[in-house]
Chain A
Amino acid sequence: MSEMVLFKNRREDRAATLDEYRQSGGYEALITAVTTLSPKDVQQQVLDAGLRGRGGAGFPAGRKWAGVPEHGHFPRYILPNTDEMEPGTFKDRILVNADPHLVLEGIILAAYAVSAERGVFFIRPSYEKDAEIIERELEVARQANLIGKNILGSSFSFDITVHRSGGRYICGEASAQINAIQGKRPNPVKGGPHMAEQGLWGKPTIVNNVETLACVPGIVRHGADWFKGLAATPTGAGNKLYCVSGMVQQPDCYELPIGTRLSEIIEGSAGGLVAGSTFKACLPGGASTSFMPKQFFDVEMDFEPLKKIGHRLGTGAIIVFDQNTCLVAATLNLIEYFARESCGWCTPCREGLPFIREILRAIENGEGKEEYIPMLRQMADHMNQAYCAFAPGAVQPVLGLLNYFEEEIREHISQKKCPFCAGHQGSKQALWTNRGNGRYPGAANAEDKFASCPI
């Protein structure tokens, strides 16, 4: 059993209290930092630890922080990003619910490292409970002088406010998030000034995912080598929260050494696939990553090993599809999602995603033509012209479908119907009760193609 760091205090029913967190060594890192380390020391530790962003892009956190100019302007801001809206991803919600002070200590240490005065905890409306937990525990931390003016008697002052979002996927993108906080339409900013120099209200700003921030106290407390040693791969560092959902026995969020093999995560932690199902493919890191077929079942779930085989770790949210799931329909679901969530600001994304959606819909409905296949690829490639990473991410499943499951697209075209939708004329009630991991009556009849395509 590997060492638990992020979920050490996870309980079934409630968040860990400040006392419980402190008993497990909590806030020792902050005490060390404000009494014996300079902000640069903390930055260097995180840089040495090789901590890479857990929100999707995987950018090294220490390098991001080092982007704040030493003599740059004040005030400086930290934006802990809990706008977790990547389909399949729920790790930040569980993390905040489990151990809010671990997240808070991480934020305070990041603030110390870049000399920030204010944090804006950006949170989506579906996570209102998290917002309430953070507000409650912030007050507890203030009472204990762990946050606020002259933290633990030092000259360092920093506080956090909670910013409730109105709810849109694009707000998770750093530049869009800054616009959202500033009460502007949250369009991403292309190019533009570097946020570490000119971000929120024109001042140096660091946007970090909360899982990334929650890794920081451990690094400061135990050192960079300890953090690197947690990983299962030589190129990796730290533990990772893997969310597993879809056709598995025990969908949940699991803390494991980064680089744990996909097969171990699915068959070990998540209990394997539901009865009667076999693994067909997964999205390894949320909806903005490509389908990964069975041939990669043993891949190490870490940035570099995945990159080597042409895939991305993304958020580490693994969505598992079984042999009875139509991947054309699955891709259509994902593209419908992205077409709706596109902020609509730039043309490739606004126009291109609905175009792709229509092609996929035609194919799924048995009205596809052979020429639609190169059209899909061409349109997917065009998404690289978009303003931000949203559209290129959105078409990753489309590219995965084309790269690994082109035959399945062809079957739709040649049979002029979805080959998985044999018994669709039945009642929706019946559809409902034929799948799942024993949750529904009559579930998991592997040979029953009746419910094979959820559309």
Chain B
Amino acid sequence: MLTEEIRQKIAQEIAGCEHPREKAVDVMYVLQRHYGYMTDEAVHEAAQLLGMTPLELDELATFYDFIYRQPVGNYVIHVCDGAACWMHHERAVFDYLCRKLGVEIGETTLDGLFTVLPTACIGNCHLAPAMLINGKCYGLLTPEKIDDILEQLVCEACQPVLTK
């Protein structure tokens, strides 16, 4: 269930908009942050708020890369597999991450912290190989650097104030 506060906020934003459907992706992002991913319930709620059918909304939810229709971890790792990163061994980044986290590509760690996904070129080709974690870019990756990044995120996740 959405909190009344979030519902009100979304409804207000939509009310101020000449074409509510323009807000579809924004609303999905808000609901996704609330539920962790676009649950069936979220699809229905977003559709209702936007004056769309759940089917119309789901057509969008299933289309976009950064809208998740399945549960994901607190930290979604998008590894860039664009041409420049590929040249700098993006496969090795995947392999290293997956081995270290004990998951396959597309899976989430058992503790619910990390999900590893491929993504379209993230526009940081000069920093190849690169990846995004919850939208933040990390480039010039090496195994040591990945170790440090993951360690820091695990550490942050242990401190309740800093978790998502």
Contact with A along B3-46 (1 / 0, CB 8 A): 00000000000000001111111101100000000000000000
A227 located at the interface, meaning its Cβ lies under 8 Å from any Cβ of chain B in the complex: no
Q: Which residue on B lies nearest to A333, using beta carbons?
A: B86
The size class of the interface chain B forms with chain A is: 35 or more
Q: Mark A314-333, 1 if CB is under 8 A from B, else 0.
A: 00010101000100001001
Chain B residues lying within 8 Å of A89, measured Cβ to Cβ, are 121, 123, 125
**CB-CB nearest in chain A for B23:** A183
Closest to A451 in B: B89
Report, as a range, how many residues of chain A touch the other chain. 35 or more
Chain B residues with CB under 8 Å of A181's CB are 22
- Distance of A109 Cα from B95 Cα, bound (Å): 48
Q: When the two chains form their complex, are residues B26 and A185 in contact, meaning their CB atoms are under 8 A apart?
A: no
Q: B116 near A: Cβ within 8 Å?
A: no
Question: Is there an interface contact between A87 and B65, defined as CB atoms closer than 8 Å?
Answer: no
B84 within 8 A of partner (CB): yes
Does A86 contact B121, Cβ atoms closer than 8 Å?
yes
Evaluate contact between B96 and A243: CB separation under 8 angstroms.
Answer: no
User: Does A160 make an interface contact (CB < 8 A)?
Assistant: no
CA distance A155 to B10 in the complex (A): 33
Chain B residues contacting A321 (CB-CB under 8 Å) are 87
Contact of A251 among B81, B83, B92, B126 (CB under 8 A): B126
Q: Say if the beta carbon of B163 comes within 8 Å of chain A.
A: no
Q: In the complex, are the beta carbons of B95 and A428 less than 8 A apart?
A: yes
1/0 contact trace for A433-455 toward B, CB 8 Å? 00110011000000000010011
Contact B89 A90 (CB under 8 A): no
A229 within 8 A of B: no
Asked if B89 contacts A245 (CB within 8 A), the reply is no
The residue in B24, B64, B67, B123 that gathers the most chain A C-beta atoms within 10 A of its C-beta is: B123
Q: Which residues of B contact A454 (CB under 8 A)?
A: 86-91
Instruction: Tell me if B106 is interfacial: C-beta within 8 Å of chain A.
Output: no
- CB-defined contacts of B66 to chain A, threshold 8 Å: 125, 166-167
Report the separation of the CA atoms of residues A92 and B125 in the bound assembly, to the nearest whole angstrom. Answer: 13
Residue on A nearest B21 in the bound complex, by CB: A183
Identify 5 residue pairs between A and B in the complex whose beta-carbon atoms are under 8 Å apart, listed by A's number: A167-B64, A167-B119, A252-B126, A428-B92, A455-B91
> Interface with A: B107-115, B135-143, B149-157, which one?
B135-143
| A341→B50 CA distance, assembly (Å) | 27
A317 to B84, CA, bound (A): 11
Is A431 in contact with B92, judged by CB distance below 8 angstroms?
Answer: yes
Residue of B nearest to A330 (CB): B83
Nearest-neighbour CB distance to chain A for B38, whole angstroms, equals 10
Q: Does B2 make an interface contact (CB < 8 A)?
A: no
**Do the beta carbons of B87 and A88 come within 8 Å of each other?**
no
Known: A186-B63, A454-B90. A439 touches B140 (CB 8 A): yes
B82 at the interface (CB under 8 A from A): yes
CB–CB B28/A126 < 8 A: no
CA distance A201 to B18 in the complex (A): 11
The interface residues of chain A, by DSSP majority, are classed as: mixed
Chain B minimum-CB-distance residue to A163:
B22
Per-residue contact bits, chain A 177-191, to B (CB 8 Å; 1 contact, 0 not):
000111111100000
Interface string of A363-387 (1 = CB under 8 A from B): 0000000000000000000000000
The answer to whether A164 and B25 touch across the interface, beta carbons within 8 angstroms, is: yes
Closest CB in chain B relative to A346 CB, distance in Å: 15
Residue B72 at the chain A interface, CB threshold 8 Å: no
Q: Specify which chain B residues have a CB less than 8 angstroms from the CB of A165 in the assembled complex.
A: 25, 64
Contact of A428 among B60, B87, B96 (CB under 8 A): B96
**CB interface residues, B 47-83, toward A, < 8 Å:** 50, 52, 56, 59-60, 63-67, 78, 81-83
* A102 interface contact, C-beta 8 A: no
Interface flag for A391 (CB, 8 Å): no
Neighbour of A253 across the interface among B60, B63, B126, B142, CB < 8 A: B126
Interchain CB contact under 8 A, B143 and A429:
yes
- Decide if A128 touches B84 in the complex (CB within 8 Å): no
Q: Does A173 contact B (CB under 8 A)?
A: no
Collect the chain B residues with CB atoms within 8 Å of residue A98's CB: none
Q: Which single member of B28, B83, B96, B119 contacts A166 (CB below 8 Å)?
A: B28
Is there an interface contact between B64 and A90, defined as CB atoms closer than 8 Å? no
In the bound complex, residues from chain B placing their C-beta under 8 Å from that of A180 are: 25
5 A-B pairs closest in CB distance: A166-B64, A183-B21, A245-B125, A251-B126, A183-B24
